[in-house]
Amino acid sequence: MSRVFRRLSSTVTFKATPSKAHHHGRLPASSLPLGYQLTGVHAGVKKRAGVPDLAVILSTSEQPTSAAACFTRNAFKAAPVIVSEDVLMQNGGRARAIVINSGCANAVTGKQGMDDAWAMVKATDALLPPSKRDFRHETLVMSTGVIGQNLPISKILTGIEEQSEDRLSTRTLGSTFASWELAAKAFMTTDTFPKLRSRVFTIGGRKYRMAGMDKGAGMIHPDMGPARTSFSGFTGTGSGAKQLHATLLGCILTDAAISPRSLQSALTYAVDRSFNSISVDGDMSTNDTVILMANGAAAGAGAGQEVVEIDEKTDQEGYEVFKTELTEFAKDLAQLVVRDGEGATKFVTVTVKSAPSYKSAHSIASRISTSALVKTALYGEDANWGRILAATGSVPFLPTSSSPYASAPAIDPTRVSVTFVPADGSAPLPVLINGEPEKVDEARAKEILQEEEFEIEVEMGMGGGPETEAKYWTCDFSYEYVRINGDYRS
């Protein structure tokens, strides 16, 4: 137990985090939503010349554009979050532009920060063709980067003004894939690739498109709530509210026509099952925002012709299709963030089944996904179900009703099972069945866990049904994560 010679230093050599570049590819032009113009430029927020740090997105549709958003629940909301929520509230869910900068979060920046965020909004408003409606502002704003520093606002405003219609030599707004890609690059901070996806879908026989971008690679575990517009009833799972998490920005654009309130409810539903179901390191942000815009441009209707917006009350079937498509799309985008997790070598799906409710399933999946011991075991490729079980058992259930005599549902350990599921469809490996440990085939465990992707399934045995299951996506904790976030001396 005593050591005569004490090591002065330790050295570890580890496999470099694999390149994630293969996750980025060209999107087909036919999948890009109509009626949008985008760009990304280097305004000067980031030090390195040529690296995009400012994105502008305009809806040029003749139809009214609906907008919805979900924001961080952190008590220290950044200025852009407060401003965007204000614009949406004032306009009842309408906006026609988004301006985004990376390199500086404009958080904890006091009055100056608020002034700067409004200045970005006004400058971008000026890029829009005149509005038929009487909105004071029509732009939403997002920022990401360092906390506690003011924006280099004049550089940003110059960058926005250079996109004016009359500034032919500097204007780069466009609608090609290259335009979308530039915007996506302007979102990036520690991301190693621009995160951009598109999807084509059909409602009532008509073709629509959605495309979007997001960013995030560290300080990720969002729990966003809907904008406080007058029709925001649903407040999300709330389960993650106890573990609010970190800087994720997302932006989804579609050329479908959706009413403002239905856009918000569809987004809130989709965000809970996507962006609020990912974890890189369990931390939270002052800036998380996901914006969704629907501009009705798919119909190809002219200015005089009003396109009927899909609304959950008047076209429930159409709304349900949209909500489902949006949710699947949001999951894809959100998962890209996990795949790019700082230092991550694994992409793991955590599925919790047969919990008393979706909310509790989500809470448990969240605990497992953020557990430092589980995540280091994933890095070590160890089928350590003990750590998974301990995480599972640490989530208290709330009573099922508000009656003072209601008791919380109790976990029956003899009904809990844990299984490792390979991504290739081959036989799953149960490690705990109904509370009893299995003799684990170590070679098979190694086979499954050595892959970059696999799934951990936890069966709670407390009742079935689709609304009692939740999926969460997470990655491992590696030396690289510590190096990126802690090793300032290297």
The kind and range of the H/E element at 269 are helix 260-272
Q: Which of 237, 247, 254, 351 is catalytic?
A: 247
Q: Out of 44, 413, 422, 428, name the contact with a second copy by CB under 8 A.
A: 413
Q: What does the alpha-carbon distance between residue 358 and residue 469 come to, in Å, rounded to a whole number?
A: 6
What is the nearest approach in angstroms of a second copy to the Cβ of residue 391? 7
Q: Does 342 count as an annotated binding residue?
A: yes
β-pairing, 470-474 with 278-279?
parallel
User: Contact between 218 and a second copy (CB under 8 A)?
Assistant: yes
Among 92, 174, 428, 435, binds a second copy (CB under 8 A): 435
Shortest spacing between CB 34 and a second copy, in angstroms: 30
How would DSSP label each residue in 292-361? EEE--GGG---SSSPPPPB-TTT-HHHHHHHHHHHHHHHHHHHHHHHHT-TT---EEEEEEES-SSHHHH
Which 243-272 positions form the footprint of a second copy (CB under 8 A)?
243-246
Burial class (CB in 10 A: 0-12, 13-18, 19+), 454: buried
Among 281, 312, 315, 459, binds a second copy (CB under 8 A): 281
Question: Is residue 422 close enough to count as binding a second copy by CB under 8 A?
Answer: no
Beta strands in 172-239 (DSSP E): 195-203, 206-215, 225-226
Active site residue 370: no
Q: Could you tell me which stretch among 70-78, 94-102, 289-297, 465-473 binds a second copy (CB under 8 A)? A: 70-78
Residues whose CB is less than 8 angstroms from the CB of residue 316 and which lie 6 or more positions away in sequence, other chains included: none
Judged by beta carbon, residue 296 or residue 356, the one nearer a second copy is 356
Q: Which of residues 360-389 bind a second copy (CB under 8 A)?
A: 371-382, 385-387, 389
Number of chain residues interacting with a second copy (CB under 8 A):
86
Q: How far is the CB of 305 from a second copy (least distance, A)?
A: 44
Burial class (CB in 10 A: 0-12, 13-18, 19+), 429: buried
CB-wise, 83 or 310, nearer to a second copy? 83
Is residue 17 a contact partner of residue 480, using CB atoms and an 8 Å limit?
yes
Residue 189 assigned as binding residue? yes
Which CB atom, from 335 or from 360, has the smaller least distance to a second copy?
A: 360
Tokens linked to 453: 């992707």
Distance from the first to the final alpha carbon of the chain: 32
Among 28, 29, 76, 464, binds a second copy (CB under 8 A): 76
Q: Which residues are annotated as a binding site for substrate?
A: 189, 215, 247, 342, 485, 490
Which residues are marked as active site? 247
